[in-house]
Structure 1
């Protein structure tokens, strides 16, 4: 590695600018999951490392050329040094005259050719070849919206996030002024000017705390932040704060009133971004570290019936809500089974999104990667594992589960969430076989964030590896809707949330669990 010098730093800045220009266009049509897929993010990190090595090679080639030019310049500078202060005497010497004439005729031609020689063409070609794997704008927007969900659902400050503090959890990750500015721009374009101001002020504070020429080469000057910050204040009608921002910026200090007037005449169009949803305060509380589960005096027991299997290996059952009943079952799967399931899911979800239908379910109310099992495209051994787990679901719920209704394999990345909803279907789709109950099997621990929240009950269940959560979507005596079990998935703070969901359908219970009373609010 080349030792650090001021010259090397200047060349490094130049190389960053060249790298960004070379990578400016990306025509890849394949959308790759960089938010939830750990393997894709690992590849992205490896790619970044390769690009850095490529950049350092470019720096070394530039430095080699500069060193050659410096040596030639030192040689060609000798006549100037020798003639300084005695030009007439120097030029009267025939040797000096010959040397000067020959040098001006021949040597500078070679210097010109050397300067014209391209440097780093190999490295530039490598960058272009790597363009296909670079994140697209959609990936960046998805990551920023995920950050928005974290901020809103856990009542975070932009300045804390930038320093790596997430809901009292200090991480080693930090944001630069570049990311904070982009977050501010996202909110500005979504007409959320108060939130834009918070991020833009954080961007300015970070830039002032550690000023660097790198940001300007990467397309962000302090004046860019001030300009958008003043526009945000003006959009809210806060003209005096806008003036103060502009006055503090040397580039704008002489034209403050003109800019404020221009901002007023050209106000933003007020387009809303539906992805920047606002979380209800109750939901935010239930997801945050402020929530502490209340101790209950409900049932904890071993489930030993009705299946003969349960007499040999009973399930540890905990009733966590009485009306309507909600249960938790512990140690439903072994650590080896969990590892196998995660390996299957990572393998399938590593597939390009365009190649696997249903893999990427990304809408405003839910952000998750998913697929279904048993799956005929997967090995029989892997499908058998899922069938064994589904049989345990049947045992713990006392309901029959047929192969007609597959298990939903889920992976939530950071910020991954599911807004409040009920799992029954019949209120929107008449005459359809509905979901009596839901079982969620958690496949990893999530000490904080990513919980399953029931706003009506003021209850949040935190994921633990091997824990299964059971609740009812229909009342068991009438099959009417159980609206009180409205639930949501809190956004994931750190890491990845793995889960397996199984819905239990009423058609499967036609001859084993008929409803006992007439329905009141079902559409048949």
Structure 2
């Protein structure tokens, strides 16, 4: 007999019902905690129901003993016993009235209060989509970490032994998922494990959930037939389904000709969302190749501020350029960020001009600050600090980056390999250009899984609290898309993963970059004719066009400010004079256009 707790856990997981609440069991610990609370309530309710039944059973047993007692006394001396009027009368009265009342007592339903309570709670239990999401999560963990069904069933995942196991019914659900994907080999493994976990003592319990050994046997036989193994299919139908030879012949012919309509499946494509190479890096057995010319040091050069408070930096790649900073945010700042973002988090949908299968990313996200973000001094101060940190870490203009995006991954939560640049015409790229760089703040340490993986670089970055990961998505000089920045997130196995992401756009930084280079050495910088020409040309023509572009958008205050500043910008004669100056240098020193364009004048290489 299965313990009551296990019975109710199975009921909660597999019972489907309607609910008006939008609940997320995958990423919200509070919602998962609610399942445990409901579980305890239902167990207590079931135990009260059992007690009511036991009270009725005890009463009926006592009545049966009392009713039987006169018959025991009369056995072997019936005539003498019935000759006594004190025996005849009670027997007649008992037969006349007691059994009618006993029939009414037996027919009366006990525990109606507990039954009504259970019906009421059914609306709070997981929906089909919740079970589907949980099954998909286990499926991703199975594939990403190369876990065999037998090991997963006993709680062994990627070398870590968990204090948890799957039941036979759990394994059957996983087998059904693989079967519907057309992965009959893996489905047969799950079904074999399901059979090994079935105990004869569980038959009555399993029948409550309409789950029998024959169900497993029939699906296993179907898998063998799909794999071309009729001999194994016949053996299973004989041993597990108890069919005769004639019945097996009929069943085999049915399955071969028309299939079993109770199963709808599609052609199996080996995990297209998590490719094999990606999975291999996720696994604990992955050993990165030794790297040369990569160092750990304190960054003191990106901005003047870092000379006073440098960040500990670890170089991860030079092409593309990628670094990790450690211990950037304090614990209190991380807690405040989580408090700000938690109420805003919702299921993620990729930003793209084309339709994308949303299963590529199973997370909750929130863009902030937004209209729902409380504007307190503490929140505003923290957001400003993070903007400054991004600028300090990258040397780029974070003031006009995308809004920050908070991301929460639950169990099995992942992100399939992708690039952060869009490489397509959408609103974001039309306004600010494509994503030049990515900055990721890790807000917690993930116990198992959840690493950021760059498959083309053979690189895995574990999720560790306080770490910040920074890389360029576009080539710094040509602004070509860097395909080597393809990355994804391994499925989270234990706990949740919290990150804060920011993307810096190319157009905004393209304007600011010369000012960054000139900072602290303006005289030297402007003494270079190429810098002077570029700056003057930019001020003469770019802002005028940008004013026109911005005028079509929002921000009248900024438009007015820009119009006011236009009167201070160079005139046509100034641009003409600067052009003439470069022209004279070109002729006087015999400089080729290609050399002049890259800063080589008369044998001197300018920066």
* Correspondence for 2:512: 512
Contact 2:151 2:157 in 1 (8 A): yes
Q: How does 1:208-219 map to 2 (within 5 A)?
A: 208=199, 213-219=204-210
Look up the match of 2:314. 318
TM-score, normalising length: structure 2: 0.76
CA shift at 1:211, angstroms? 5.1
Show the counterpart of 2:498.
498
Q: Which residue number in structure 2 is paired with residue 477 of structure 1?
A: 477
Structure 1 281/209 Cα, relative in aligned 2: closer, same or farther at 3 Å?
farther
Greater displacement, 293-302 / 114-123? 293-302
260-269 or 166-175: bigger deviation? 260-269
Q: Does 1:419 align with 2:416?
A: yes
- Structure 1 residue 404 displacement after superposition: 6.3
Q: How does 1:359-508 map to 2 (within 5 A)?
A: 363-380=358-375, 381-402=378-399, 405-427=402-424, 429=426, 431=430, 433-508=433-508
Alignment partners' CA distance in 2, 1:408 and 1:26: 33
Unaligned ranges ≥5, structure 1 = 1-8, 518-524
- The alignment status of 1:238 with 2:214, answered yes or no, reads no
Q: Say if 1:178 and 1:220, in contact at 8 Å, map to a contact too.
A: yes
Using a 3 Å threshold, how does the CA distance of structure 1 residues 110 and 277 change in structure 2: closer, same or farther? farther
- Determine helix, strand or coil for the equivalent of 2:34: helix
Identify which of 256, 260, 266 aligns with 2:252: 260
**Count of aligned positions:** 501
Counterparts of 1:109-258 in structure 2 under 5 Å? 109-208=100-199, 213-249=204-240, 251-254=242-245, 255-258=247-250
> For 1:59, which of 50, 53, 63 is the aligned residue?
50
* d(CA) in 2 for partners of 1:30, 1:62: 34
Contact 1:289–1:448 (Cα < 8 Å) also in 2: no
Report if the CA contact (8 A) 1:373-1:383 is conserved: no
| Distance in 2 (alpha carbons) for counterparts of 1:294 and 1:486 | 18
Alpha-carbon distance between aligned partners in 1 of 2:3 and 2:442, rounded to the nearest angstrom: 50
5+ residue gaps, structure 2, are: 518-530, 535-607
Deviation at 1:251, TM superposition (A): 3.0
Matched, 1:88 2:85: no
Post-superposition offset of 1:340: 2.7
> Per the alignment, in what secondary structure is the counterpart of residue 494 of structure 2?
coil
Q: Assess if the C-alpha contact under 8 Å between 1:31 and 1:136 holds in 2.
A: no
Q: Is the 8 A contact 2:213 2:241 kept in 1?
A: no
CA RMSD of aligned residues (A): 3.0
The structure with the largest alpha-carbon Rg is 2
Separation of aligned partners in 1, 2:319 and 2:401:
30
Distance in 2 separating the partners of 1:417 and 1:150: 9
Q: Could you tell me how far 1:16 is from its partner in structure 2?
A: 5.8
Partner of 1:6: none
- Secondary structure at the aligned position of 1:180 is classed as helix
Mean CA deviation greater in 200-209 or 458-467: 200-209
TM-score, normalised to structure 1's length? 0.88
2:69 is aligned with 1:73: no
Query: In structure 2, do the counterparts of structure 1 residues 209 and 60 end up closer, same or farther at CA, with 3 Å as the change threshold?
Result: closer
Quick one: distance in 2 between partners of 1:493 and 1:210? 33
Query: How far 1:379 moved relative to its partner?
Result: 2.0
Which segment drifts farther, 270-279 or 66-75? Answer: 270-279
Aligned equivalents of 1:484 and 1:277: distance in 2?
19
- By how many angstroms is 1:132 displaced? 2.6
Choose from 255, 275, 280 the match for 2:275: 280
Mapped to 1, the partners of 2:179 and 2:469 lie a distance apart of 40
Separation in structure 1 between the aligned mates of residue 93 and residue 16 of structure 2, nearest angstrom: 47
Partner SS, residue 495 of structure 2: coil
